[in-house]
Amino acid sequence: MNLIILGAPGSGKGTQSVKLSKELSFAHISTGDMLREAVKNETDLGKKAREYMQKGQLVPDELVIGLIDQRIKQKDAERGIIFDGFPRNINQAKSLDKILNENNKSVDTVINLETTEDVVIQRLCGRRVCKKCGAIFHIKNMPAKIEGVCDHCQGELYQRADDKEETIKKRLDVYTKENAALMKFYQENKKFISLDANHDADIVYKEILDLVNDYNKNTSRAATSA
Ligand code: AMP
């Protein structure tokens, strides 16, 4: 099963995708994580992407599409994939369909995490990420046991450069501009489900898991009766 999690920055895509990918043993493909890694390692891709990311703009499509093309061929993607932060526009969505098709895969479900602007701004401003393992915390909603230290690996927690207020506004503008068309694209394909993601992460997680389990039950029922 291949799943896309859509939503604004701060809607909880990353938190939910990490948890879900562990539970289901699916590959978690986050273009944001892959790009941050490339920037950190100063690869050619990282050098090209850095400026766009600092400004809260989208990195050019051909760069991110190239990443996806390679990543979905890896072994851990065989069982299932959770796409987090990709696609971000129609061109990327169409390219994803093409790439998946070439690899005998398809998008099975798109879950849209709906949030209000005040909630995402509060979440993003307080978000802290582990430098070592990438685990996500929040200074109020999900605090680390020891301030500034990761609960899982004792790595140092930091605030992403693009989680500062000015860049957050830019990222939300970009999201608003691109997302309506993206949702329409998946609604027309009848694979689209929206969830209220203003709730606590645990409540949203349970709803996502129920959707995935229902999907799997229906698919195996259909396969048995065929
Ligand atoms: P994220 O971690 O998903 O919030 O992404 C952080 C930043 O990485 C975004 O603001 C973009 O600059 C870049 N980025 C991540 N995913 C994409 C994508 N699918 N297309 C273009 N740029 C992306």
More confident of the two residues 150 and 218: 150
Q: Please pick, among 48, 55, 160, 191, the residue that the annotation labels catalytic.
A: 160
Q: Is 160 a catalytic residue?
A: yes
Shared-domain flag, residues 220 and 203: yes
Q: Is 19 a catalytic residue?
A: no
Whether 35 shows a pLDDT value over 70: the answer reads: yes
CA dist 124 and 126 (Å) reads: 5
Shared-domain flag, residues 78 and 139: no
Q: Is 88 a catalytic residue?
A: yes
Beta carbon of 46 within 6 Å of any ligand 1 atom: no
Beta carbon of 128 within 6 Å of any ligand 1 atom: no
Structural domains counted in the chain: 2
Residue 69: predicted pLDDT: 92
Shared-domain flag, residues 84 and 192: yes
Shared-domain flag, residues 52 and 95: yes
Shared-domain flag, residues 99 and 67: yes
Residue 13: predicted pLDDT: 95
Whether 73 shows a pLDDT value over 70: the answer reads: yes
Shared-domain flag, residues 211 and 107: yes
Q: Which of 159, 177, 211 is the last residue of a domain?
A: 159
Atom 15 (ligand 1) nearest CA: 32
Residue 5: predicted pLDDT: 97
Whole-prediction pTM value? 0.92
Q: What is the per-residue DSSP string for the chain? A: -EEEEEE-TTSSHHHHHHHHHHHHT-EEEEHHHHHHHHHHTT-HHHHHHHHHHHHTPPPPHHHHHHHHHHHTTSGGGSS-EEEES---SHHHHHHHHHHHHHTT----EEEEEE--HHHHHHHHHHEEEETTT--EEETTTB--SBTTB-TTT-PBEE--GGGSHHHHHHHHHHHHHHHHHHHHHHHHTT-EEEEETTS-HHHHHHHHHHHHHHHHHHHHHHHHH-
What's the CA-to-centroid distance between 198 and ligand 1, angstroms?
21
Whether 224 shows a pLDDT value over 80: the answer reads: no
Whether 189 shows a pLDDT value over 80: the answer reads: no
Q: Could you list the residue range(s) of the whole structural domain that residue 88 is in?
A: 2-115+164-225
Residue 41: predicted pLDDT: 95
Across all residues in the chain, what is the average pLDDT?
93
Whether 163 shows a pLDDT value over 90: the answer reads: yes
Q: Tell me the best of 4, 29, 88 to mutate to test the pocket of ligand 1, counting ligand atoms within 8 Å of each CB and taking the most.
A: 88
What's the CA-to-centroid distance between 143 and ligand 1, angstroms?
25
Helix H, strand E, coil C: the string for 99-130 is HHHHCCCCCCEEEEEECCHHHHHHHHHHEEEE
Atom 12 (ligand 1) nearest CA: 53
CA of 35, closest atom in ligand 1: 8
Shared-domain flag, residues 101 and 125: no
Rounded to an integer, the average pLDDT of 44-62 is 95
More confident of the two residues 101 and 165: 101
Residue 199: predicted pLDDT: 92
What is the domain-level CATH number for residue 87?
3.40.50.300
Whether 183 shows a pLDDT value over 90: the answer reads: yes
Q: Is 13 a catalytic residue?
A: yes
Whether 226 shows a pLDDT value over 70: the answer reads: no
